Structure 1
Amino acid sequence: MEKIKHDLRLSETISPFGVGAIVDVRGESLIAPDTSWWDKKYAPRISCERLLARVGPGELRQAPTHAGRAAKETAGLPYWRFPAWRFCERCSKLSMLTGKKKGRWTNTCECGGILVAMRYVAVCQNGSHVQDIPWFKWAHRGHDEGVTEAVRFCRAYKELKFERSSKRGEGLASLRVTCNGCKRSRPLSELVEKESLRRDGIRCDGRQPWEDTGSVTEPCEHQLVAVQRGATGNYIAERLSALDIPEERPISEKQGDLIRGHVYFEKVVADNGGPQAEMVAGWIASELGVSPETVLSVAANDGSDEFPLLELKDGEWAAFLKKLQHGRDRSGEDFVVDGWTVSDDRLGPQELTRRLSGVGQVRRVREVRALLGFRRHNPGADLISADLGPDRRRRPVYPAIELFGEGIFLRFDEGKLAEWEDNPDVRKRANILVDRRAREAWAHRLDVPEPRFIALHTIAHLLIRRLAFASGYSSASLQERIYASTDRPDRTAGIFIYTAAGDAQGTLGGLVRLGEPARLLPLLVAALDDADVCSNDPVCIESDSQASSRLNLSACHGCALISETSCETGNRMLDRQLVLGGTNVTGLLETVLPEVRGVGGGH
């Protein structure tokens, strides 16, 4: 096959055109094979120890790049033609053949017409496999009276046609696959019926289109479903990203070391929670400036590893806190943050400033994103690795990119947040999503929707929508990282909104300049004002069941949703009521707008 040269942005090799994705290029429908097909000589390694520690043994490699115009020998990524079945837009002939013209392969029919990929492919419901629909076999199957002996034993393999006729009906009923040999004709409306492929005896091959039949070690028992090849559910990327920061130890670990090193600590452990232990713990606490409960907790867990690192975000949170304490950052590293306090009431409404304990202007940050694999059809399907190479003993290769950017970090006051979370109505509201998450087999991959996470996550979305107007960046180019957890010794309560680009020089500064409190707090107030009334109210604000799997409460496209690629949870776990308040629940920031408007009372 003659090579097709087409430029992609580096970020597109991770998503949306990463391993396993179907992409249209110059009239061709192609699919990206796994990284075992890459030429490693032209795929440079990317260094990020924090990310590799989470991923496990393997390598991070970036797709080949070039400067200027691509030449014939320019290194690139291979893409596989899929689906193989195509029809001629001139004569309607349906086949898997590729034409030849003057000895070179071409995507044209014998009649000179352009070959167009068939619209439908078959996706495995739970195994994440995808394959061509065997159109000849499908056209001669069915359970109607038209399946005669002549149809059943037809061998006119080159007589298939894909026809359109409004006389046959509308929609898919007007699209038919017809065999000129036996005159059998079936409408595509029969293809999308429930269990239609199973009834026709079409089974899953148990592999990806670029894999050969020898790669299948055991048959796939899952059913196939016919879907449009461009459907969103055909490709659900599993990505992981990490900020390249100087790793900091969480405060609780540092406190634990001080407590264990105290001369009286062994007495607390020896008394095993008795009255003497409480008394001695009080002495240690007063000397080290910690609570007696912290001392007793360290003693109770001494020698155990009850609190392992929370994936990648523990170190990031600790690094942000250290940067916020030092004000102006004059370091020349890849993580530069200017810290601000917001205690001055002149910067914004008091009801807002008293709930924030710090703001960071992130002037430079390096992020590494990796594609671990993908799923098809539904989030609970099997994960297919980005490297399906035959030699399982070697270290897998994950597609990755490094990005340099800027952003804004907000730290919320832990005391005010904890006080708000203790409200029974707040916990009751959040528990709606906690219960739904528990019922979905795949949803364990999402963060636990405790009250602080839902509120901070929703605030991040509202702020992104407002920043898109003021920063010069589109909302789709902004990303979020939510730090909101209470089940750790170091409770986290922060939002990081950033943008990043593949150029080593980073981005243009339009976002970080808005991180000064005098500019940021008015923008946050404006974001709350935008969300106060949704175009879908009162339906939206009174709702407790929106989005896929009902994992949103009061949040819709009119008020809180953003691009799915910008959100860590795919536009799930959102609720305006936990931010702005509702009839039966107190919002975290519900008193801000009344103060700004000069009115009393709640939301």
Structure 2
Amino acid sequence: MDPIVHDLRLSETISPFGVGAIVDVRGESLIAPDTSWWNRKLAPEISCDRLVARLGGGVLRQPPAHAGRAAKETASLLYWRFPEWRFCEQCTKLSKLTGKNRGRWVNKCDCGGMLVPMRYVAICEKGSHIQDIPWFMWAHRGNDSEVTESVRHCRSYKELKFVRSTGYGEGLASLRVLCTGCGRKRPISDLVGKDSLQRDGIRCDGRQPWEEENSGGDPCEHQLQAVQRGATGNYIAERLSALDIPEERPESEEKKDQIRSHVYFEKVVADNGGPQAEMVAEWIAQELDVTKEQVLALAAGDGSDDAPLLELKDGEWAAFLKKLEGGRDHSGGDFIVDGWKVRTDAGWPPALTSRLVAVGQVRRVREVRALKGFRRHNAEAELICADLGPDRKRKPVYPAVEMFGEGIFLRFDEERIARWEDLPEVRARAQILVGRREASAWAHRLDVPEPRFIALHTLAHLLIRRLAFASGYSSASLQERIYANSQRPDRTAGILIYTAAGDAQGTLGGLVRLGEPDRILPLLSAALSDADVCSNDPVCIESDRQGSSQLNLSACHGCALVSETSCETANRLLDRQLVLGGGNVPGLLDDVLDQLRQTTAA
């Protein structure tokens, strides 16, 4: 038989159809095995040292791809059939793929009817394993009076049917698995109850469907739960992305190097906190424009060994700041940014130009996205690596794609944002989301919703919605990257809106041209004006509990939400009040629209 031929976009092989994901293709249900099954010769290596370091080592490889029509030798990805149990839509008979048919495209019953994959599978609650439900075993178990001796000892393995009994209504109770050999009939409603599989003696195999039964893994003691095979919780991908930029050292790290190399620094270390150290540290601080406390802390060793681990965004922020200072960028490569400062005399509201200090037109940027692994059932389950190969001495292979695009980078004034977020009303508003994030079992994976992050994140969404009208790109084609953190040595306050495509070597400039001085300020003003009134107001603007797990405040589909693929936090941690103000909460840009209206009226 011919193999299944189905095309996926290259980016879809990372998410949502990456390693471990279930894919429906031409009436079949398939699952993607880990990268140890790949043909390495057909999967080119992708270079991104920053991302590899964050993954803890390994190799990034692009999934096999081709252009044009597929042939026999065309590079392709392997998918495994799962679940193996299917039923005939004509005679309703249940059957399981046997070893001789696993690699063949067989989708018809002996009666000529099409075979349909069973809609329920078993998923491990903590171990992230998934497996078929042993339907014959399950159908002959239970605690009711129908489980007679003849049922217990039934051996009619090929006599199961998946039937509908109209006398039980339209729910799961009407769907039943019938054994025509012993007459046992059990409703699907018995399957989905809490601990139902455990009561029936069905245990977790401790493996993924493509792994061998005796793969040598540790036994899994966690419970199984029956779920629909298309449920979103069956696959929770953990992805990482990084911009391919020259790695720049953050300003705080450069300051530390300057302090350590100062001619008098050894005297501070030698005096070990004595009066001479205080005096010399004051000299060094004045000369290098740092604080005396920084010098003394570094001399005591506090600044060298206990410094927080640098995130991917730390190096990106430092690289953007260097590009903004350089003006017109005449360099080559995959990171080209023209930077310019915002003039306060440009005729636009001072409330806007005093807060937005610099803009970068990102003419070319390369982004690399990698799949680290996946979880099943919930975000607290065990992380399954994208490479489950038996050879542990070999470097793990992570699926990755590289994308080239363009964008707009906005840097905001740190001093003004710091003053604004210190206001009690602002901190109280943000604390609502902080508390909900801490109370959630999975939301700890999201960024800490401090005031600057919520405000700049919401502004990024408003700008994406406006850029979709002016740039030629749909909002789903635009991505955000938020740089907003006050808890790190180098505080960040900026946003990057960019577009990137995995099947094109760049874009056409429709977005980057909007970063010009006479275009970006009107677009920002228009974005704020769009969000000033929501179609769901006054309910939306007065709300403090919207979105998934109530992790949005005043933000809904009518004003601030965009495509979830465009957002770093899947449309969470948003609030219009912290941007435009509302009630007794002063917004970061709450007086911009008032100044615009006064100018227009004049």
- TM score, norm. by length of structure 2: 0.94
Report what 2:395 is aligned to. Answer: 395
Asked if the contact 1:403–1:500 (Cα under 8 Å) also holds between the matched residues in 2, the reply is yes
**Secondary structure in 2 matching 1:346:** coil
Is 1:88 the equivalent of 2:96? no
Is 1:130 the equivalent of 2:112? no
Question: One-letter code of the match for 1:92?
Answer: T
1:395 Cα deviation (Å)? Answer: 0.8
For residues 219-260 of structure 1, give each alpha carbon's deviation from its aligned partner in whole angstroms, at most 9, with x where no partner exists.
222222222111111111111111111111111222222233
Asked if the contact 1:317–1:492 (Cα under 8 Å) also holds between the matched residues in 2, the reply is yes
1:274 Cα deviation (Å)? Answer: 6.0
Report what 1:243 is aligned to. Answer: 243
Asked if the contact 2:298–2:304 (Cα under 8 Å) also holds between the matched residues in 1, the reply is no
Q: Distance in 2 between matches of 1:483 and 1:77?
A: 36
Of the structure 1 ranges 187-196 and 91-100, higher mean CA displacement relative to structure 2 is found in 91-100
Report what 1:550 is aligned to. Answer: 550
Asked if the contact 2:244–2:365 (Cα under 8 Å) also holds between the matched residues in 1, the reply is yes
**Secondary structure in 1 matching 2:366:** strand
Closer, same or farther: CA 51–139 of 1 in aligned 2, 3 Å: same
Closer, same or farther: CA 553–79 of 1 in aligned 2, 3 Å: same
Closer, same or farther: CA 434–58 of 1 in aligned 2, 3 Å: same
Report what 2:591 is aligned to. Answer: 591
Is 1:362 the equivalent of 2:362? yes
Q: Distance in 2 between matches of 1:273 and 1:544?
A: 50
Of the structure 1 ranges 328-337 and 214-223, higher mean CA displacement relative to structure 2 is found in 214-223
Report what 2:180 is aligned to. Answer: 180
Asked if the contact 2:140–2:147 (Cα under 8 Å) also holds between the matched residues in 1, the reply is yes
Of the structure 1 ranges 357-366 and 200-209, higher mean CA displacement relative to structure 2 is found in 200-209
Closer, same or farther: CA 347–272 of 1 in aligned 2, 3 Å: farther
Is 1:63 the equivalent of 2:43? no
Closer, same or farther: CA 199–534 of 1 in aligned 2, 3 Å: farther
1:145 Cα deviation (Å)? Answer: 2.7
Closer, same or farther: CA 24–286 of 1 in aligned 2, 3 Å: same
Asked if the contact 1:471–1:514 (Cα under 8 Å) also holds between the matched residues in 2, the reply is yes
Report what 1:26 is aligned to. Answer: 26
1:216 Cα deviation (Å)? Answer: 4.9
Asked if the contact 2:3–2:105 (Cα under 8 Å) also holds between the matched residues in 1, the reply is no
**Secondary structure in 2 matching 1:214:** coil
Extract unaligned runs of 5+ from structure 2: none
RMSD: 2.4
Question: One-letter code of the match for 2:108?
Answer: T
Report what 1:337 is aligned to. Answer: 337
**Secondary structure in 2 matching 1:598:** helix
Report what 1:473 is aligned to. Answer: 473
Q: Distance in 1 between matches of 2:475 and 2:569?
A: 16
Asked if the contact 2:378–2:442 (Cα under 8 Å) also holds between the matched residues in 1, the reply is no
Q: Percent identity?
A: 77
Question: One-letter code of the match for 1:252?
Answer: S
1:529 Cα deviation (Å)? Answer: 2.5
1:301 Cα deviation (Å)? Answer: 4.3
Report what 2:346 is aligned to. Answer: 346
Is 1:576 the equivalent of 2:576? yes
Q: Distance in 2 between matches of 1:37 and 1:297?
A: 51
Is 1:259 the equivalent of 2:259? yes
Of the structure 1 ranges 264-273 and 477-486, higher mean CA displacement relative to structure 2 is found in 264-273
1:110 Cα deviation (Å)? Answer: 0.6
Q: Distance in 2 between matches of 1:465 and 1:540?
A: 18
1:424 Cα deviation (Å)? Answer: 1.6
Report what 1:144 is aligned to. Answer: 144
Q: Distance in 2 between matches of 1:275 and 1:487?
A: 31
Alignment of 1:134-533 (within 5 A): 134-270=134-270, 277-301=277-301, 304-346=304-346, 348-503=348-503, 505-533=505-533
Question: One-letter code of the match for 1:91?
Answer: C
Question: One-letter code of the match for 1:346?
Answer: A
Of the structure 1 ranges 296-305 and 428-437, higher mean CA displacement relative to structure 2 is found in 296-305
Closer, same or farther: CA 93–599 of 1 in aligned 2, 3 Å: farther
- TM score, norm. by length of structure 1: 0.93
1:441 Cα deviation (Å)? Answer: 4.7
1:37 Cα deviation (Å)? Answer: 0.5
1:397 Cα deviation (Å)? Answer: 0.5
**Secondary structure in 2 matching 1:596:** helix
Asked if the contact 1:98–1:109 (Cα under 8 Å) also holds between the matched residues in 2, the reply is no
Question: One-letter code of the match for 2:31?
Answer: I
Of the structure 1 ranges 69-78 and 314-323, higher mean CA displacement relative to structure 2 is found in 69-78
Q: Distance in 2 between matches of 1:427 and 1:269?
A: 39
Asked if the contact 1:410–1:495 (Cα under 8 Å) also holds between the matched residues in 2, the reply is yes
Question: One-letter code of the match for 1:155?
Answer: R
Closer, same or farther: CA 317–99 of 1 in aligned 2, 3 Å: closer
Of the structure 1 ranges 439-448 and 116-125, higher mean CA displacement relative to structure 2 is found in 439-448
Question: One-letter code of the match for 2:373?
Answer: G
Asked if the contact 1:160–1:179 (Cα under 8 Å) also holds between the matched residues in 2, the reply is yes
Question: One-letter code of the match for 1:67?
Answer: A
For residues 404-463 of structure 1, give each alpha carbon's deviation from its aligned partner in whole angstroms, at most 9, with x where no partner exists.
111111101001101111112212222232233333454443222221112111211222
**Secondary structure in 2 matching 1:141:** coil
Question: One-letter code of the match for 2:493?
Answer: A
Q: Distance in 2 between matches of 1:599 and 1:173?
A: 67
1:159 Cα deviation (Å)? Answer: 1.5
Asked if the contact 1:347–1:517 (Cα under 8 Å) also holds between the matched residues in 2, the reply is no
For residues 181-235 of structure 1, give each alpha carbon's deviation from its aligned partner in whole angstroms, at most 9, with x where no partner exists.
2222222233222222222222211111101111253222222222211111111
1:309 Cα deviation (Å)? Answer: 4.2
Q: Distance in 1 between matches of 2:299 and 2:433?
A: 35
Question: One-letter code of the match for 1:33?
Answer: P
Question: One-letter code of the match for 2:109?
Answer: C
Of the structure 1 ranges 137-146 and 373-382, higher mean CA displacement relative to structure 2 is found in 137-146
Question: One-letter code of the match for 1:24?
Answer: D
Question: One-letter code of the match for 2:88?
Answer: C
Q: Distance in 2 between matches of 1:251 and 1:227?
A: 50
Closer, same or farther: CA 108–320 of 1 in aligned 2, 3 Å: same
For residues 119-153 of structure 1, give each alpha carbon's deviation from its aligned partner in whole angstroms, at most 9, with x where no partner exists.
11111112111111112222222223332333222
Closer, same or farther: CA 531–171 of 1 in aligned 2, 3 Å: farther
1:293 Cα deviation (Å)? Answer: 4.9
Q: Distance in 2 between matches of 1:117 and 1:221?
A: 27
Of the structure 1 ranges 554-563 and 377-386, higher mean CA displacement relative to structure 2 is found in 554-563
